[in-house]
Amino acid sequence: MFEKKSMTELNRVSKDAYAHHIKNEIILILDDVRSMHNVGSAFRTADGFGIKAIYLVGFTPTPPHRDIHKTALGATETVPWKHFETIEAAIQAAKEEKFEIIAVEQTHNSTPLNTFTYKQEKIALVFGNEVAGVSDVALNLSSACIEIPQYGSKHSFNISVSIGIVLWELLRNN
């Protein structure tokens, strides 16, 4: 018999306590992501995995907005975020903080996610637009590119699903 855990048993921390939690040294960079629901989902997933920050780039929607909040469920208040006008500025800011830039995209020289190991403790993962993917500019500024192996006919995951898959795989052995 299975019984759901209570809120107390889940040991959820307050917004203030979360700010002092040890976080994984990972930044999510969302490059021209259109959907507010995808942005909200990115925040909620980042909170769940204890991610350091989210960088929102270009026309990616920013909080506060009810459609972001609808899926973020308050995570826009726990996960630090910044907005950048250009992908170059976002990547430059991450590099200045000593983050290795890793694009998540299907390319000729990408490494399958399940075989990828990162050397540097601090990584910034670039996720691209729902239609066009990671921009060529971002790809050219990345030191590595990882790809989620796929076996169906579409060869495409929703960005929010991709974020969850990538973070789970990268952090599952930590």
Mean pLDDT, the chain, integer: 92
pLDDT for 120 equals 76
Confidence (pLDDT) at 21:
76
Contact assessment for residue 112 and residue 144, using Cβ atoms and an 8 Å cutoff? no
Q: Which domains does the chain have, with CATH numbers?
A: 15-171 (3.40.1280.10)
Query: What's the pLDDT at 174?
Result: 63
Q: Which helix (H) or strand (E) holds 103?
A: strand 100-104
- Taking only the tens place, the pLDDT of each residue in 2-39 is 999 887 888 877 778 877 776 899 999 999 999 999 99
Prediction pTM value = 0.93
Assigned token pair, 20: 């002092």
- How confident is the model over 59-102, as pLDDT tens digits? 999 999 899 999 998 889 999 999 999 999 999 999 999 999 99
Classify the C-alpha dihedral 121-48-41-108 as positive or negative. Answer: positive
How is the chain split among helix, strand and coil, in percent rounded to 5?
Answer: 35, 20, 45
Helices 159-171 & 36-49 angle (0-180, nearest 10): 10
